[in-house]
Structure 1
Amino acid sequence: MAKKVVRAFCTLLVIIGLFSGCKKFEKQGHLKEPGIVLTFDDNKVDNWVDYLPLLDSAGVKATFYICKYNRFTSEQKNKLSIIQSHGHEIAFHTTNHYNMEDYVYKQKHTIDELMRCEVEAGLKMMNRDGFYPTTFAYPYGAHNGVFDKTLMRYFKSVRALNGTQDFSKSIVPTQNNDVLYGLGIDKSSKRSDADVISVLQSAKNNNTCAVFVAHEINTANKYSVTLERLLKIFSFVKANNLKYYTASQISD
């Protein structure tokens, strides 16, 4: 009888242990809400700051990958501070916007020279002015595994471009990313609104995150996303309870 009691007690402990372990796993493995990372590249602060009221009204928290900070005027630096104060991420897009593969393999610079010129120099200037980028985007999307690994010394993640018709490359987990492939949504991308919405729908269905890339907002430039497209994105996000993430948030 005593053995049966002991055996039953041990079985109960095992069950409790398994249950506790499951609850612990459930907590640690819990996925964040599905969402979108809306990113903008380059140095178009004069354009972006004009659309802050629109972004604010939609609850957007975007990621702005900045290049050519060494050419910013005091007024542009102040506008970038305003963008940051609205909760948007200020990220990094190199010092001079060189094609990094060309810089190394065609112009015969070393990777150390590349990092000093295109990463460290620009970061120093931004840091002095109160900007501390933790994520990176490649100019022209030109990258390779060696660059990715080297840049991880400076940043939590790097973002390349998805130049393919495989939209799934631009749908990622909501955490622990190191290499992102953003899908272009500018006019130059030639993608339809239906393509863009299908990526968002897939993110919703799979509890993942869609990563998009634009440059300017609502200008004649081909590297500009139309206001109509942005409004369609915002409408879908709101109707489907998606969350706006920054690149940094999905890189943790």
Structure 2
Amino acid sequence: MKYSANRPVFIFVSKLTFFFLFLGCGQETVNHEKSGVAISFDDRFINEWYALRPLFQKYNAKVTFFVTCSDSLSAEEISKLKQLERDGHEIGFHGTIHGKSTELIKALGPEKYAATEIYPGKDAMKKAGFYPKSYAHPGGNHNDQVDSVLFANGFEILRDVAISRRKIYGIPVYTIAPRVMDWIFYGFKKEKLVDALLIDTDSGITEREINDAIEKAKNTGSALMLFGHEPLYGSPNNGEYGFKVAFLEKILKEANRKNLKFYTMSELPEN
């Protein structure tokens, strides 16, 4: 064989190409078309949520409303929830009495827990024409026994609470950047137990942190899960707890700018 001065270079390039091809075979393909955000709201701020309709329409966004104390919904509240549902939003369930589930099930047992926290509110929603498939744990409180009761009652996805900053008596206990909180990103692997990041004013979440998390969702083909409570147009007072509407709009605007999809909670395991 005639020796070529370029042969060593050819061998090196060939080996390098093979290495990267082999490396790529072991990596999971990212489906960027699934990248999105799943935003939800808890409790019973129905009038305030309803007032956000123009904002959602502006960004073609759909969200999930987790309703509690549904056994005492007024006709007007039911009508507004129906309209939100027609707009493409999801009406989920957040318990009948918004109790601490682990304490209830320990004191009452599984059947009486369900009879207290699940059946009355779920039956009331059914009578009003709502058939919730997703459930948000009140206060993020639950255990395996609670979860098994909820799954047995037809809920397809259970949402917990994630907080990136925690303080006790005003003293910081921990701070975690949302972009490294892998558990707030839905990986589209049929997960049924999920965590959403709190965006209320006391969460301390910044616009930059949210933008970083949205970018991660886009790059990883996942869905960033967020949640809040009452829409606020200024600083909270008189015991108010919720998120600033201006902050929500920044989230919707950035997600829309990055061409992310908007998911309701029950849509996540279906994709």
Please give the alpha-carbon distance, in whole angstroms, between the structure 2 residues aligned to 1:77 and 1:227: 23
Deviates more, 1:149-158 or 1:43-52: 149-158
Are the equivalent residues in 2 in contact too, given 1:203–1:209 (CA < 8 A)? yes
Report SS of the residue matched to 1:241. coil
Q: Offset at 1:251?
A: 2.0
Please give the alpha-carbon distance, in whole angstroms, between the structure 1 residues aligned to 2:144 and 2:203: 25
Are the equivalent residues in 2 in contact too, given 1:175–1:250 (CA < 8 A)? no
Partner of 1:161: 161
Please give the alpha-carbon distance, in whole angstroms, between the structure 1 residues aligned to 2:74 and 2:185: 36
Amino acid at match of 1:242: L
Return the TM-score normalized by structure 1: 0.83
CA 1:248/1:175 → structure 2, altered by over 3 Å: closer, same or farther? farther
Report SS of the residue matched to 2:95. coil
Partner of 2:226: 212
Partner of 2:6: none
Please give the alpha-carbon distance, in whole angstroms, between the structure 2 residues aligned to 1:240 and 1:32: 11
Question: For the aligned residues, what is the CA RMSD?
Answer: 1.9
Return the TM-score normalized by structure 2: 0.77
Where structure 1 has 5 or more consecutive residues not aligned to the other structure, the ranges are: 1-25
Are the equivalent residues in 2 in contact too, given 1:185–1:196 (CA < 8 A)? no
Identity %: 26
Partner of 2:15: none
Q: How many residues align?
A: 223
- Map 1:185-204; keep pairs closer than 5 Å: 185-204=199-218
Please give the alpha-carbon distance, in whole angstroms, between the structure 2 residues aligned to 1:197 and 1:51: 21
CA 1:118/1:244 → structure 2, altered by over 3 Å: closer, same or farther? same
Partner of 2:255: 237
Amino acid at match of 2:204: K
| Pick aligned residue for 1:172 from 186, 189, 198 | 186
Please give the alpha-carbon distance, in whole angstroms, between the structure 2 residues aligned to 1:156 and 1:126: 17
Asked if 1:136 corresponds to 2:135, the answer is yes
Asked if 1:251 corresponds to 2:269, the answer is yes
Deviant stretches of 4+, over 6 Å: none
Q: Offset at 1:31?
A: 7.0
Please give the alpha-carbon distance, in whole angstroms, between the structure 2 residues aligned to 1:231 and 1:69: 28
Q: Offset at 1:167?
A: 2.2
Please give the alpha-carbon distance, in whole angstroms, between the structure 1 residues aligned to 2:59 and 2:53: 10
Report SS of the residue matched to 2:108. coil
Partner of 1:228: 246
